[in-house]
Amino acid sequence: MAQPTLLSMAKADLVTAKRNVDSDNKFIKHQSAYMTQQSVEKTLKYLISLHKDGLYPWGHDITVLIKEARAYGIYIPDIIVSKAPIITSWEAVTRYYPTKIIRRDSIQKIIDAVANWHTYLSRKGIK
């Protein structure tokens, strides 16, 4: 059985990302990128787990998760696929490399894509 809270956690991560993306504090804005990455990762893992008796893959590489998800025919927004390496990088650079620049509009585009993805999933009965 799929982990019932993983998608809920992904949605909560996205709420936090939305709240912090407009911060003038670079480190808080970076946390928005991190929480966005976590939302993408957890959403993919949840969707994969629906095909694997509740088991989900380990790791943070969005590209690897996308490859596995696509093997199951799981829908993933194009922008998430095309920006997977950048989104993956947010898992570490936002916490350990404070000199990295992450544009607010880049974060916002992924936030919007994930929010729309969650709405799509909900309409398909995946909650």
Flag whether 42 is in a domain.
yes
Number of folded domains in the chain? 1
Q: Is residue 51 part of a domain?
A: yes
In a domain, 50, yes or no: yes
Q: With the CA atoms of 14, 75, 56 and 94 taken in that order, what torsion angle do they form, in degrees rounded to the nearest 10?
A: -40
Domain containing 33 equals: 6-123
d(CA 67, CA 122): 22
Residue 55: predicted pLDDT: 77
Tell me how far CA of residue 71 lies from CA of 9, 33, 43, 48, 80, in angstroms.
Answer: 24, 27, 16, 9, 16
Confidence at residue 1, expressed as pLDDT on a 0 to 100 scale: 46
Burial class of residue 60 (count of CB atoms within 10 Å of its CB; 0-12, 13-18, 19+): middle
Query: Residue 99: its pLDDT value, please?
Result: 76
- Of the candidates 126, 11, 121, 1, the one whose C-alpha atom is nearest the C-alpha of residue 51 is 1
Q: Check which CATH number belongs to the domain holding 98 and give it.
A: 1.20.120.330
Residue 4's pLDDT is what? 55
Positions of the chain with pLDDT under 50: 1-3
